[in-house]
Structure formats: structure tokens, C-alpha cells
Amino acid sequence: MPGSPRTAPSWALLLRLLALLRPPGLSEACSCAPVHPQQHVCRSALVIRAKISSEKVVPASADPADTQKMLQYGIKQIKMFKGFEKVKDVQYIYTPFDSSLCGVKLEANSQKQYLLTGQVLSDGKVFIHLCNYIEPWEDLSVLQRESLNHHYHLNCGCQITTCYAVPCTISAPNECLWTDWLLERKLYGYQAQHYVCMKHVDGTCSWYRGHLPLRKEFVDIIQP
């Protein structure tokens, strides 16, 4: 969960927040609000490409009365896209051991590479959970990979709103409607993979994919 602008949260605080956000009656469930990949990159303190080299269960804190456990993943960092000012080289990442607290299960000791977004805690450790954007690198589109370096960062002033049902409208000129769930019944569909919500010189934002036009379904919803 995002910390304050000045002080990153601790493990204990993050685990308490995740427990509080767990929906009532769903003790074994992790629930996350839909967030577009562009927003994930903008909101995260750290964005890296990495391979997982090891996995270990560790205590969540030095307090012997604290029974919470964390998973410590050793990683081989391939590239950092965001977070240079907070940490230079990430060797370990941490996630809740309890899946109901949105703990992430990654493949260790394999050739699989991941895009990982997360937070940098007050002690310098990197914390991830299922509400972050965590995807196998091979599943990202060419545009998504390229946007990690430029487009996503440059357009963090744009807002992206999920459209669940028609009619859906924008409430501000710097807003883009995200329609993957409406059109495909999944979040990370065609629009998330192939479009960036880009800001124009007049402060407005709209979906952009180079010289290619928006699909007709998007235009019909965005321009009723």
C-alpha cells in the first residue's frame, strides 16, 4: 500500500493495512482494486525486471511475539526502470507469506523473468504484493516494454478510470476511460497492452498508439 510522501511504511504497518483491507467474510481472499499498468508504474516506488534466484521464509519483524511470516525472494536484477533514488541494486524482495494478505508466489531457480513493481520500505527493503503489477516479462507487449522507459513516466499526470458498464464518461479533461473489462471481461486486455494514456500540450489526455487509430469500440465509448 502506498506510504506517506516523506516516510516509507514498515513491514508491520503494511501487513496491518493489508489485513484491514481484506473484505469481511473472506478470510482467505486477497482483493485488489483494478489499476492500469501505466498507473502501477506511476504509483510504485520501484519498477524492475528480474529473475528469482531463491526463496526463503523469514520472520516479519524482530519482535518474538509477532507470528507473521514473510517470503524473502533472492533476485537477479536485470534492469531498473524506476527507483534509482531509493535503492541502487535490489538483491532481495519481500512479500507476505499468507496468501490472504496478498502474498505473491514467484518461480525461483527458473529462466522466467518478471516485471516487478513495489514499495521501498523505511529500512530500504523492497515489498511487493498481489495488488502491485507483477507480470512475466514474456507476457508484456512490445509497447508495454518500451513504455517502461518513457511513455508511462512522462504521462503520470493523466488519470485512468475503469469502465465497467455503459454509459461511462470522463469527469476531467486529463482522464482516459479503460474499457478492457467492459469489452473483454478482463483487466489486462488489448487496451492495457497496446495503448498509453498520453497528455497533450493543452493538458488533456487521450489514448495513443503511435500512428494506429483507436479501435472503433473505444471511439464509440470515449466519443459518444
3-state helix, strand, coil in the chain (%, to 5): 25, 30, 50
Q: Helices marked H in the chain — which ranges?
A: 11-21, 37-43, 142-147, 151-154, 180-184, 190-194, 216-222
pLDDT score at 9: 53
pLDDT score at 223: 43
Domains and CATH numbers, the chain: 37-209 (2.40.50.120)
Nearest to 51 by CA among 83, 81, 74, 84: 74
pLDDT score at 15: 53
Residues 6+ apart with CB under 8 A from 112: 51, 52, 136, 137, 138
* Entry pTM: 0.80
pLDDT along the chain (224 residues), means of 10: 42 52 52 93 97 94 83 96 91 92 93 96 92 96 93 95 91 95 91 95 90 48 43
Contact between 191 and 161 (Cβ < 8 Å)? no
Contact between 59 and 69 (Cβ < 8 Å)? yes
Residue holding cell 488533456? 204
Residue 42 annotated as part of some ligand binding site: no
pLDDT score at 21: 44
pLDDT score at 10: 55
Contact between 117 and 134 (Cβ < 8 Å)? yes
Instruction: Give the Å distances, CA to CA, from 4 to 15, 38, 146.
Output: 16, 21, 29
